[in-house]
Amino acid sequence: MIKLFRIVSCAEGLSYLIILSVTLGFISRDYVFVLGMTHGVLFMVYLVLSLLVSNQRGWSVIKWLGLFVAAVVPFAFIPVEWWMRKEATNAQPPALQTNPS
């Protein structure tokens, strides 16, 4: 579940930057509907997955609010990705150790 959340987080963050580039005039306004709908769907999926992952991991409401704020701040998906990568590696079970005895 955390891997899917990381993928959606990056896709949502990039779609947000694309929407902002339309606003700044870098991309034609002809694509506003398609880009807006795509970003809206990704944003909703992001929110649902963030709630599911937060519940699954037992994170506090403060951590979830941090994830929510990161969804509306440009470029904030990058530190979230770094943090989630660290969380994903911490979640993996340690390698089995064998006793030489």
Tokens of 100: 């030489």
pLDDT at 23: 87
User: Total structural domains in the chain?
Assistant: 1
Within a domain: residue 96?
A: no
Within a domain: residue 99?
A: no
Cβ atoms of residues 67 and 54 within 8 Å = yes
Q: Over the chain (101 residues), what is each successive 10-residue block's mean pLDDT?
A: 90 93 89 93 95 91 91 90 83 57 55
CA dist list (Å): 91 to 1, 60, 79, 101: 12, 17, 18, 29
pLDDT at 84: 85
pLDDT at 99: 59
Within a domain: residue 94?
A: no
Within a domain: residue 54?
A: yes
Within a domain: residue 98?
A: no
Residues of the domain holding 79:
2-89
pLDDT at 98: 58
Within a domain: residue 101?
A: no
pLDDT at 90: 75
CA distance 46 to 48: 6
